Amino acid sequence: MSAVDQLFARLRGENQKALMPFFTAGDPDIETTAEVIRAAEAAGANLCEVGVPYSDPIADGPVIQASYQRALDQGFRLQQVLDLGSSLLNEVSMPLVTMVSYAIIYRIGLQAYVDRAKAAGYAGAIVPDLLVEEAEPLAKICQQSDFSLIQLVTPTTPRERQVQIAESSSGFLYYVSVTGITGERSELPPDLVDNVGWLREQTELPICIGFGISGPETAAQLAPVADGLIVGSAIVRRVAKASDRTSAATAVRDFVRELRQAIDTAAGTGAA
């Protein structure tokens, strides 16, 4: 079992929902990324997604695109993500996973990427541009390494293909709540609950919902039907607006605490 598997087994036993913030590595610098990750865990986050900046956006909205570009303009390199994981090994107990383009993994080498990421303390990778038809080699390596391969299902993914994606995934399934790119929304699709309910009958993997979660209100709407909630743009925007490292950590801590309370209340689990 990977650390992601262990996390969800524990949360299920405690009737808890996972809260998973997303941060862009190196925006505005890698030291700030480490600080806000620590702040997020202190406020109740269960797992953290670390975005690896990439020059060709996949499904990223303007907030995350801009954060990637800022990091790249600062000279970001993949080694910084690995060093970040290593530096947090003894400071953060929640699992960390990378959000990384398959192009980066492929260029480094599938086995090499998994080995390097796991050695740095990462428990898995979300690979948004990995086609299910090409997933088997990486899925096998990840399975052998107890390293979660997390893939995305969208509202427009045909149901037969959703099942295929689930079969080649591990850790959890990332369910994209809306069509289009990442970003904060005030309303979510009316058929979201039914779609997630159908998918839950097809797989034993936890199903975590991302895209469009703008704050406590939308988090509360989704908490009862999801195993976990992923919050990206709303957090990245707060880091970008902060004047310094301390204020970034404070903003993240306060927002994650609000999300945690809303999720627990909506799911009927009480305080975290």
Q: What are the extents of the domains in the chain?
A: 3-267
Q: Is 194 a catalytic residue?
A: no
- Which tens digit of pLDDT belongs to each residue from 113-169? 999 999 999 999 999 999 999 999 999 999 999 999 999 998 889 999 999 999 999
| pLDDT value of residue 182 | 47
Residue type, 107: R
Distance CA 94, CA 4 (A): 9
**In 3D, which of 99, 63, 110, 94 has the Cα closest to residue 213?**
63
| pLDDT value of residue 10 | 97
Distance CA 32, CA 244 (A): 8
- What does pTM read for this prediction? 0.92
* Percentage with pLDDT > 70 across the chain: 92
**What is the average pLDDT value for the chain, to the nearest integer?**
92
| pLDDT value of residue 128 | 92
| Contact (CB, 8 A) for 125 and 105 | yes
Distance CA 38, CA 32 (A): 10
3-state helix, strand, coil in the chain (%, to 5): 50, 15, 35
Average pLDDT over residues 58-84: 89
With 0-12 CB in 10 A as exposed, 13-18 as middle and 19+ as buried, what is 241? exposed
Residue 61 scores a pLDDT above 60: yes
The owner of tokens 């993994």 is 105
Residue 70: pLDDT band (50, 70, 90) is: very high
Q: Three-state SS for 109? A: coil
With 0-12 CB in 10 A as exposed, 13-18 as middle and 19+ as buried, what is 108? middle
Q: Is 60 a catalytic residue?
A: yes
Among the listed ranges 8-22, 47-61, 244-258, which one has the minimum average pLDDT value?
47-61
Q: Which CATH architecture has domain 3-267?
A: Alpha-Beta Barrel (3.20)
Q: Which of 49, 56, 91, 194 is catalytic?
A: 49
Residues near 263 by beta carbon (within 8 Å), at least 6 away in sequence: 17, 19, 219, 220, 223, 229
Residue 242 scores a pLDDT above 70: yes
Residue 188: pLDDT band (50, 70, 90) is: low
| pLDDT value of residue 217 | 92
- Which tens digit of pLDDT belongs to each residue from 194-214? 889 899 999 999 999 998 788
Q: Which of 27, 41, 60, 227 is catalytic?
A: 60
| pLDDT value of residue 180 | 46
- The region, left, alpha or beta by phi > 0 then psi within -120 to 50, assigned to residue 153 is beta
